[in-house]
Structure 1
């Protein structure tokens, strides 16, 4: 048998190890997550180079890998270093406007002469390597080269007319070697050799071609239409397999019995509605009716509630919890952090008033209790919380992961509300739901608006409710980008903070780190890479830190006399509570914090937020932070302090955030800027995403088609007994940690 390092096509089964076709190169393929011949076929080109078009060299990014179509302008002879004696050949390639330098290092004179021979002026080729910055100029060191000319003129013309696949490569394995190894598997393939998870009738209805033909076209296209047709076919397959699994999960959940929790007239919910000091929005009433109807059914509700920042999700969730309590059940609200759990408990008690004092002196005749259970609740308080949950005295139990402990029992758990649910794994959610005698109803909430296509792709087994209308009386928020290197603008920023506090407002100041030597803190974006045009700029200063900034503001003349507090994740729970209480009361009107205030914190008097190093945060994070101000009757202002260059991608993000308050628009924009692996929100086993070609922002119509087709197939064959190829594809989809990710949805 001949292998990829000098290989001829061989017939092989797709589940054989990649060593069958790659020989000694197998470990390098395995490092890319390619373990079998089948994995190799599914390792699609990242893009296609057009030999007839030169690459814009000026747009290359320093320290990123690039594939450049360019023409050799000049080349040196063999150069020997006088100090080390090492050999090299240097060359310049051009796109007609800009120049990129190449450097090739050789062990032997014959190798250096080979480079010199190849680098003849006028030759056009594809040069792939990491863009470096050496002696004030851009350079590729030892790039891989694929030439578009040939000794055979006909072969040269043919090669120059075909798109050239460019694969995601590594330093140890270049795109050309991947392509030649793919050919070893692809060459002998015949129709039917690759199991097709898309049923024949679905393929016919959607006019989708044969799978093997699609694989041939995606790896060795003859023209642009070939690879576009192939990608459409393969994208549909990815969407169909994922939607089939979500449809199965939805069907299994619907088949499990649950205790119906219908609305009880004259109960807690009616009493709560009568005392509400504000009018529910039309959206809150509509979603509330949806939840009420589903809770009244003997099948478990499975619903995702999302909405704009400040749209009133908490009130909607509370009304659902009260309906369950009225019907003899309990509700558990699971939050990812102690700060958020404590905030939820305070908010629910404040909304309920004496209705949260059931069985207590001074409590309402119709009432229940809200108890809080987190890791920091200890001693007598913990024992009382455990007793209230187990006895049923607490109709609503709020907590963190502490709710999952074996010692926590419920009298009659009927509804599980999971806030920021994407932060919880399958074992954690199942551990809580297992505390119910029958399958409890589930309400998942997210404070981050999710584009509809993402909801279909990631949360396809849940019904989705959306709150887009803000409660009446909100004064709104205005946002501005503040250049950090403009002293006058920064002076005005702190002056504005002083003015807002003088009017009775509160001010948040958010920093990405706790201390100056922190490497953690906020989940920051990678520092922005520079293009060749600005590769020589000086590096930016370190990100701002809470403790340093707090000291600076205490000494700042514009804030003289104002108390400045701090809040971050390393503080003890009682210190966090005290910091928030002092901030809310106005005792400490300026709070310097990390992103611990991103969700759940509700201080109606907060009117200004200053986000330092805003260009290091993501779009959704900025939108959530901004949503902490303007929650009362006074307008809010958000100042995004940035060190990003004008016109850079980071600056574009900030300008987009400042330009709209529409969270769904921002979520769609954010998604368009992110890589495909980020769509799933979790690193995938084997180092590759299960969505290789599908893009949820672009492929919404295709996803809807696949969703409808997959549901029809599952309805007719819930166990997929007649569709073994589809069942096998789903099993592969769920390999490694992918099943856990889907369960988080």
Structure 2
């Protein structure tokens, strides 16, 4: 149960003074989530994006052009509009003149706001038009009394259509008034080290800044709040991990017979990294503690083989294993890769997805329940209620960041003392690994297996697309197969992005029925058919959206064209490029871009041309774009930090991790004085869902 002290913060935002039901709906659109309206805490933690400095109060003649100034002026003349022109008000001081310009304004309102002969303070952007100083739609027009109430530095909030800055600021002030007196959950040493004030004082400084740096994300007030958010997240991760470990595991040692058969069937030897990761996983499985490990590896580094050998060890010990993938294409790809190797070892495996025929599904469910099927590969269909295992011992979660903690735990709950191995093909910088997978041990695959080809990467202006198509014609005649990736499925009038369907139609004019199409809006069977036709060589060009980003394995594909490459994230470009270079033939990647390129887009394309090291690329992606683009932070299961920014606050995350570990070592149940305060923190940042999961686990 959430402590009653926090109840005022979890009331609906529409209950705030000055908000009400109508404005409340705008806050719901801005800050609410599906099925949940915006609450006071959401308004409180919706921090300003910038500030307007109204402290600059020069005379008219000294007001800087192109900057905000707050000026004391005397109203001298009103000039109502002629026709559709603007309403102009002439003002002056002893140094010069300033024209105030209003478009489509009510004349009675302006006359009342700016009476002739009266002195007023106006604040806004000063510009030059026809050699005269002017201020178009002043932000503020106030008298002396109003000036005293005018904030010297005004916060600027992210808004939605229909919501205005003054309303957002008033709501934030009202939310601050609702904030109860909270105990301090940080240690004195941490506060001194950061030079930090209390949680409440830091929020107040950001919502009511006295100078622009008060609300800078790198400033001390924002840093305090970012640390609190990190600490709540790290505590939740560690509580889940501690619960996993206290639940105890079951030793799954195996005799190595099945693994040996799989290894002998491989056409290559394992890399050093694969052997190292396998040794770590094998030791975890053999111990009596539950495994919770992340296996991260670059595109084509051989994670699937490591996972299969881990699953074989579990089967050797008399139990079952399951591999869950986020999409049906990826699940089927894993099944196609694993089945021949499993057959060579005599392993019985099955595929389970959301669109299996009723008879097939019934047979699969019976096989899993009886233990006849030893390894199940599938989508989230694996966690449905009717799926039961005779003795599940290992859950492998592929592309972990695309699943929520709930799905991971639900699959692990399909058996007793189930070990968990998560995998990701997106190499994760250390900072991100702490944020997204702080409850896991990490094994990394950095080496490429023997035979993997380097990929010739080139950036080409889209104006030269005819040359690219001519080059493809020659490549296809020589036996190549080509991916052509577009950012959208179909065109629209308000977007100039290439659409997959339109591009497929264009290419069919040159290549006829050699062109296939696959995208996320197609039915599953149609997607499978399009992928199969490409894999078997019936089609030579596969036009696709990013549905092929992960897992698709066609070794014969040697050319990747990415249209509007400047619109993709760096890690996503790297993942797409990794669909080629998987066979013995030389491969290339063409990045078609639309000029002019911004600095960030230019940097991305240059980095991609320079290196194929996914770990370096992920670090650069984090630096250039932030965590949301590296792992898709808005997807289910990602932390979705409201305040903290990994690109700015990485050092704070490491501090918070150490703090969380220290706190739980000293008080594992969080029942001491600081522990109770930390529980408040967990509820405040809504990390209590992890607590509920571990209690249920």
**Taking structure 2 as the reference length, what is the TM-score of the superposition?**
0.80
The question of 1:348 aligning with 2:351 is answered: no
Match of 1:388 in 2: 367
The question of 1:511 aligning with 2:511 is answered: no
Deviation at 1:327, TM superposition (A): 1.2
Match of 1:725 in 2: 677
Q: Which moved more, 1:409-418 or 1:377-386?
A: 377-386
Deviation at 1:563, TM superposition (A): 2.3
Q: Deviations over 1:599-654 (max 9, x none)?
A: 11111121101123334433333221111011122232111223353336555544
Deviation at 1:295, TM superposition (A): 1.0
The question of whether the paired residues in 1 share the 8 Å contact of 2:238 and 2:439 is answered with: yes
Query: Residues 591 and 185 (structure 1 numbering): CA distance in 2 closer, same or farther, change over 3 Å?
Result: closer
Which of these residues, 551, 556, 568, is aligned with residue 519 of structure 2? Answer: 568
Query: Residues 576 and 179 (structure 1 numbering): CA distance in 2 closer, same or farther, change over 3 Å?
Result: closer
Match of 2:105 in 1: 106
The question of 1:247 aligning with 2:250 is answered: no
Match of 1:434 in 2: 413
Q: Distance in 2 between matches of 1:116 and 1:633?
A: 82
Query: Residues 607 and 739 (structure 1 numbering): CA distance in 2 closer, same or farther, change over 3 Å?
Result: farther
Q: Distance in 2 between matches of 1:659 and 1:116?
A: 65
The question of whether the paired residues in 2 share the 8 Å contact of 1:106 and 1:112 is answered with: no
The question of 1:44 aligning with 2:47 is answered: yes
Which of these residues, 190, 194, 197, is aligned with residue 182 of structure 2? Answer: 194
Match of 1:293 in 2: 283
Q: Distance in 2 between matches of 1:477 and 1:118?
A: 74
Give the alignment's Cα RMSD to 1 decimal. 4.5
Q: Distance in 1 between matches of 2:537 and 2:174?
A: 71
Q: Distance in 2 between matches of 1:73 and 1:492?
A: 63
Q: Which runs of 5+ in 2 are unaligned?
A: 1-5, 33-37, 58-65, 92-98, 127-133
The question of whether the paired residues in 2 share the 8 Å contact of 1:567 and 1:593 is answered with: yes
The question of 1:618 aligning with 2:613 is answered: no
Report how many residues are paired: 651
Q: Deviations over 1:223-266 (max 9, x none)?
A: 5676522222222222212211111111111111222111424x
The question of 1:273 aligning with 2:263 is answered: yes
Query: Residues 550 and 194 (structure 1 numbering): CA distance in 2 closer, same or farther, change over 3 Å?
Result: same
Which of these residues, 436, 444, 465, is aligned with residue 466 of structure 1? Answer: 444
Q: Distance in 1 between matches of 2:489 and 2:43?
A: 45
The question of whether the paired residues in 2 share the 8 Å contact of 1:77 and 1:116 is answered with: no
Q: Distance in 1 between matches of 2:100 and 2:634?
A: 38
> Which structure 2 residues correspond to residues 96-135 of structure 1 after superposition, within 5 A?
103-112=102-111, 114=113, 125-126=123-124
Which of these residues, 17, 21, 24, is aligned with residue 18 of structure 2? Answer: 24
Q: Deviations over 1:687-737 (max 9, x none)?
A: xx9734311122111111111011111122222112222112212322799
The question of whether the paired residues in 1 share the 8 Å contact of 2:88 and 2:100 is answered with: no
Which of these residues, 488, 506, 509, is aligned with residue 555 of structure 1? Answer: 509
> Which structure 2 residues correspond to residues 457-536 of structure 1 after superposition, within 5 A?
457-484=435-462, 486=463, 489-516=464-491
The question of 1:584 aligning with 2:535 is answered: yes
The question of whether the paired residues in 2 share the 8 Å contact of 1:70 and 1:127 is answered with: yes
The question of 1:234 aligning with 2:225 is answered: yes
Q: Distance in 2 between matches of 1:734 and 1:368?
A: 43
Q: Distance in 2 between matches of 1:671 and 1:397?
A: 35
The question of 1:333 aligning with 2:285 is answered: no
The question of whether the paired residues in 2 share the 8 Å contact of 1:340 and 1:601 is answered with: yes
- SS in structure 2 opposite 1:469? coil
Q: Which runs of 5+ in 1 are unaligned?
A: 1-11, 55-66, 93-99, 129-138, 356-366, 518-538
Q: Which moved more, 1:234-243 or 1:700-709?
A: 234-243
Q: Which moved more, 1:706-715 or 1:730-739?
A: 730-739
Q: Distance in 1 between matches of 2:16 and 2:360?
A: 63
Q: Deviations over 1:21-57 (max 9, x none)?
A: 9633355475465977766654433334445789xxx
Q: Distance in 2 between matches of 1:641 and 1:140?
A: 44
Q: Normalized per residue, which structure has more helix?
A: 2
The question of 1:443 aligning with 2:400 is answered: no
Which of these residues, 583, 603, 607, is aligned with residue 558 of structure 2? Answer: 607
Match of 2:386 in 1: 407
Q: Distance in 2 between matches of 1:217 and 1:600?
A: 48
Q: Distance in 2 between matches of 1:73 and 1:655?
A: 51
- SS in structure 1 opposite 2:294? strand
Deviation at 1:72, TM superposition (A): 8.6
Which of these residues, 313, 318, 325, is aligned with residue 323 of structure 1? Answer: 313
Q: Distance in 1 between matches of 2:272 and 2:279?
A: 11
- SS in structure 2 opposite 1:278? coil
Query: Residues 542 and 692 (structure 1 numbering): CA distance in 2 closer, same or farther, change over 3 Å?
Result: closer
Deviation at 1:418, TM superposition (A): 1.2
The question of whether the paired residues in 1 share the 8 Å contact of 2:514 and 2:540 is answered with: yes
Q: Distance in 1 between matches of 2:613 and 2:90?
A: 51
- SS in structure 2 opposite 1:697? helix
Deviation at 1:414, TM superposition (A): 0.6
- SS in structure 1 opposite 2:247? coil
The question of whether the paired residues in 2 share the 8 Å contact of 1:479 and 1:637 is answered with: yes
Q: Distance in 2 between matches of 1:631 and 1:196?
A: 55
The question of whether the paired residues in 2 share the 8 Å contact of 1:330 and 1:396 is answered with: yes
The question of whether the paired residues in 1 share the 8 Å contact of 2:600 and 2:624 is answered with: no
The question of whether the paired residues in 1 share the 8 Å contact of 2:123 and 2:139 is answered with: no
> Which structure 2 residues correspond to residues 52-201 of structure 1 after superposition, within 5 A?
69=68, 78=78, 80=80, 88-89=87-88, 103-112=102-111, 114=113, 125-126=123-124, 144-145=139-140, 164-169=154-159, 174-176=164-166, 178-179=168-169, 193-200=181-188
The question of whether the paired residues in 2 share the 8 Å contact of 1:425 and 1:741 is answered with: no
The question of whether the paired residues in 2 share the 8 Å contact of 1:18 and 1:26 is answered with: no
- SS in structure 2 opposite 1:555? helix
The question of whether the paired residues in 2 share the 8 Å contact of 1:105 and 1:112 is answered with: no
- SS in structure 2 opposite 1:698? helix
Query: Residues 109 and 289 (structure 1 numbering): CA distance in 2 closer, same or farther, change over 3 Å?
Result: same
- SS in structure 2 opposite 1:394? coil
- SS in structure 2 opposite 1:699? helix
Q: Distance in 2 between matches of 1:498 and 1:741?
A: 55
Q: Distance in 2 between matches of 1:275 and 1:309?
A: 22
Q: Deviations over 1:351-401 (max 9, x none)?
A: 44522xxxxxxxxxxx21221122333154334333332332322111123
- SS in structure 1 opposite 2:482? strand
Which of these residues, 218, 223, 231, is aligned with residue 206 of structure 2? Answer: 218
Q: Which moved more, 1:547-556 or 1:198-207?
A: 198-207
- SS in structure 2 opposite 1:455? helix
Deviation at 1:120, TM superposition (A): 10
Query: Residues 577 and 151 (structure 1 numbering): CA distance in 2 closer, same or farther, change over 3 Å?
Result: closer
- SS in structure 1 opposite 2:443? strand
The question of whether the paired residues in 2 share the 8 Å contact of 1:510 and 1:546 is answered with: yes
Q: Which moved more, 1:34-43 or 1:397-406?
A: 34-43
The question of whether the paired residues in 2 share the 8 Å contact of 1:304 and 1:464 is answered with: yes
